[in-house]
Amino acid sequence: MESIWNKYRWAFVIAGIALVGLFLSAYVVNEEEQVVVVQAGKPVRTVNTPGGQSGAGLKFRVPLFESLRRVDKRVLDLEMRDEEVLSNDQQRLLVNAYARFRIVDPVTMVERANNTDGVRRALEPILNSALRQELGRRTFQAMLTAERGTALANVRENLDREARQYGAEVIDVQIKRTDLPEGAPLQSAFRRMETDREREARTIRAQGTRDARIIRAEADAEAARIYADAFGADESFYDFYRAMQSYEQSFARGEGRGDSSIILSPDNEYLRQFRGRR
Amino acid sequence: MTTGVAGQGLAMAGKKNPWGGSGGGDSGDAGRGDADQGPDSGDADPPSGDKGGPRGEGPRNPWLPGGGEDGKRRSASIEDIFRNRGPEGPRRRGGGPGGPNFRMPQRPGGKSWAPVIAVVVIGAFLLLSSIHLVEPREQGVVKRLGSYSRTLDPGLHFTLPFPIETVDVEDVQGVRAVNIPASNQRAKLILTGDQNLVDLSYTVRWNIKDLADFKFELADPIETVNEVAEAAMRASVAEKTLDETFTGQGRAEIQQRVRLRMQEFLDAYGAGIDVLGVEIAKADPPGEVVDAFRDVSVAEQNADAARNEARGYAQQTLSRAEGEAEAFTKVYEQYRLAPEVTRQRLYYETMERVLAQTDKTVVEADNVTPYLPLPELQRRSRQQAPAGQ
């Protein structure tokens, strides 16, 4: 052991220094990140940038002189605060949007925003104001529906223009939520929904009553037709026949009918035989 | 993932054992060994206790029963450990320094075991970290020194050992379901196109289409899926009216649109995610107005009830009309055969029935009874009525 050390002392020392040097100069760039190599505060080259030449993997640098800034290469999100937007018909809407962006120019990004959080901080107010401006030009209805697409494309363009100054590219802006603000607007919406339903309920009930009335009337009419058809065969007999039925109904004792007393005159037709007349 | 964890475990074991080994072999380092380790190595070499140096040679293993006097170690069974735990236990009694009391067996040539164990452990770890079994529903991404190298399909694969190549295996076929709103979240009301609010909950099912994209393109793919789902759902509901969201047809359309929208967004981000389906679990009016909605269905029932009643009346009326008409027709047919007789007969029969049930007073003409005792007649009839019952 001792002899080996004595014999190859310098070789060991050199190998050790080389090893340390290797550890200091080699670095690994992951697939999901990009690296800016900074030399004395000045970015000199980038690794694994979108569209750049050198990709991820094992890389080397000059130890001590070059430092690394690692930047996310993936699609990042920019979350917006809930923002109250006033439509041009003076209705309020609580809007919450997000943007997806990617650092495409890490050198600019490092110089101007330091890190991705810096980019977020810079872009958030821009997203808020761009969205507010764009949606504020539209009616409440349009904010909700049809024109959403074009509005968001405009917002994306505006935001992208600003983001380029920070080395970022905005891929997409989407409205995540559009809500009515708590309090009066929400309550009035509920009230409107309620009255709307009340109206509907009322209409339905009225329709029911109308239909019922019509059904009854049709039945009555049909019954009248049937009666007329049958009774029209002989009107005088009907008169007699119906009179007989009517007497029975009116005078006969039965449930729920008053008692009847009949005072007959001897001249009555019924008593004709009774009197023995001929 | 799995290999990574196994690797770590092995690495730790590798770190532990050489210390124990060298400690046992050389000096008072053994005192720093772990509790588990001491007894194990001690059991492997019972006579080593003899070699335990005299007191004061170095820090002794505090977890072992003190072998100060005779140097003989007792077996460190569980019972012993617990028995010795009391205040009179050896922890108190034998707190003083003692010699290292276990050793590895001697290697031929009197050298340390440490290098051998280290090489074996590292070798095993390297071997394990280069064998990868990818299950049928899984895929793995291989990164060589951080750079994406290839995707492993199901099967047995070999890679260069850690840390040159790392493998990340992920379930790609398995369907992941996201419930929105999550069960612990408050329902968020969604605005419909006619500016009404609907309380909607839905499930998004997705899986991984391209594992490399999934791993490297999005900072937070799962959160992205949630956000995209919400954006797509709100945009799609805003195109529909409230009533449409309640009908099956409208719901199916919304589900379809949300799925397409989400796929479009995610593809634009290069997320490597397939949206398999979106299912609306519940579409209800908000709690605040649910009574009014219920009243509508009550109204529908009321209307139906009114119609049914009317139909009942109609049938009754018509049947009665038909019955009466038929009865008249039948009688009339007979009447036509013998008009006068039938007429007389009907007259007398009817009168019989009528007069049989009524009080009758026959008033003789003119001078006989000028006074009609109507109240009395009524009283009499009233007295009769209870008697008749």
Q: Which residues of A touch B220 (CB under 8 A)?
A: 77
Interchain proximity B306–A270, CB inside 8 Å: no
Interchain proximity A179–B239, CB inside 8 Å: no
Q: Which residues of A touch B228 (CB under 8 A)?
A: 174
Interchain proximity A28–B346, CB inside 8 Å: no
Q: Taking CB atoms and an 8 Å cut-off, how many pairs form between chains A and B?
A: 273
DSSP result, A137-170 = TS-HHHHHSTTHHHHHHHHHHHHHHHHHTTTEEE
pLDDT of residue B306: 94
pLDDT at B50 exceeding the cut of 50: no
Report ipTM for this prediction. 0.76
Compute chain B's Rg from CA coordinates. Answer: 50
B216 interface with A at CB cutoff 8 Å: yes
Interchain proximity B227–A172, CB inside 8 Å: no
Tokens of A186: 């929400």
Whole-number Å distance between alpha carbons of A20 and A16: 6
pLDDT tens string B267-308 = 988 888 999 999 998 888 888 888 998 999 999 999 999 999
Mean pLDDT calculated for residue range A119-132:
89
Interchain proximity A262–B315, CB inside 8 Å: no
Specify the CATH architecture of the domain A75-175. Answer: 2-Layer Sandwich (3.30)
Picking from B230, B285, B385, the nearest residue to A176 by CB comes out as B230
Q: Of B29, B40, B18, B15, give the one whose Cα is nearest residue B100.
A: B29
A226 interface with B at CB cutoff 8 Å: yes
- Domain segments of chain A as ranges: 1-72, 75-175
Question: Higher pLDDT residue, A105 or B73?
Answer: A105
Residue of B nearest to A266 (CA): B364
Cβ burial of A181 (10 Å; 0-12, 13-18, 19+) is middle
At residue A185 the predicted structure's pLDDT band, cuts being 50, 70 and 90, is confident
pLDDT at B326 exceeding the cut of 50: yes
Interchain proximity A178–B238, CB inside 8 Å: yes
Sign of CA dihedral B14, B20, B23, B25: negative
Looking at residue A70, its amino acid is: R
Q: Of A95, A38, A27, give the one whose Cα is nearest residue A66.
A: A38
Question: Higher pLDDT residue, A38 or B3?
Answer: A38
Q: Which residues of B touch A222 (CB under 8 A)?
A: 317-318, 321
pLDDT at B59 exceeding the cut of 60: no
pLDDT of residue B388: 45
Least confident stretch, B85-99, B171-185, B223-237: B85-99
pLDDT at B101 exceeding the cut of 80: no
A263 interface with B at CB cutoff 8 Å: yes
Looking at residue B365, its amino acid is: A
pLDDT of residue B1: 40
Compute chain A's Rg from CA coordinates. Answer: 48
Q: Of B328, B326, B245, give the one whose Cα is nearest residue B284.
A: B245
CA distance B171 to chain A (A): 20
Residue of B nearest to A195 (CA): B292
At residue B320 the predicted structure's pLDDT band, cuts being 50, 70 and 90, is very high
pLDDT tens string A38-78 = 888 888 888 887 776 667 888 888 878 888 888 888 889 88
Residue B168, classed as helix, strand or coil, is strand
Interchain proximity B219–A247, CB inside 8 Å: no
Picking from B146, B310, B360, the nearest residue to A30 by CB comes out as B146
Q: Please, which residues bridge with residue A45 across strands?
A: A37
Interchain proximity B363–A140, CB inside 8 Å: no
